[in-house]
Structure 1
Amino acid sequence: MIPVGARVWIALGHTDMRRGMQGLALLVERGLKRDPHGGDLFVFRGRSGSLVKIIWHDGVGMSLYSKRLEKGYFPWPSAKDGVVSLTSSQLACLLEGIDWRNPRYSWRPASAG
Structure 2
Amino acid sequence: MIPPVPRQRIWLAQHRVDFRKQHGGLLAEAYKMGLDPFSGDMIIFVGRSRRMIKVLYADPTGLFVTAKLFTLETMKTKFKFISEPLAKDITAAELSLLIEGSRYTIEKRVAVYTKPIDPKGISTRTCSGPYARVMG
For normalisation by structure 1, the TM-score amounts to 0.79
Residue 87 of structure 1, CA deviation: 0.7
* 1:3 aligns with one of 2, 5, 27: 5
Structure 1 residue 56 corresponds to structure 2 residue 52: no
Q: Give the Cα separation in 1 of the matches to 2:95 and 2:87.
A: 14
Q: State which structure, 1 or 2, has the greater radius of gyration over its C-alpha atoms.
A: 2
Q: Which residue of 1 aligns with 2:40?
A: 39
CA distance in 2, matches of 1:60, 1:92: 25
Q: 5+ residue gaps in structure 2?
A: 107-136
TM-score, normalised with respect to structure 2: 0.67
Q: Which residue of 2 aligns with 1:109?
A: none
**4+ residue runs of structure 1 moved beyond 4 angstroms?**
none
AA partner of residue 38 (structure 2): H
Query: Aligned AA for 1:50?
Result: R
| Structure 1 residue aligned with 2:114 | none
Q: Is residue 2:101 matched to residue 1:100?
A: no
Tell me, in whole angstroms, the C-alpha distance in 1 between the residues paired with 2:88 and 2:4.
17
Separation (CA, whole Å) in 2 of partners of 1:52 and 1:72: 13
Pairing 1:87–2:91 present: yes
Larger RCO, structures 1/2 (Cα 8 Å, 6+ apart): 1
1:20–1:5 Cα change, 3 Å: closer
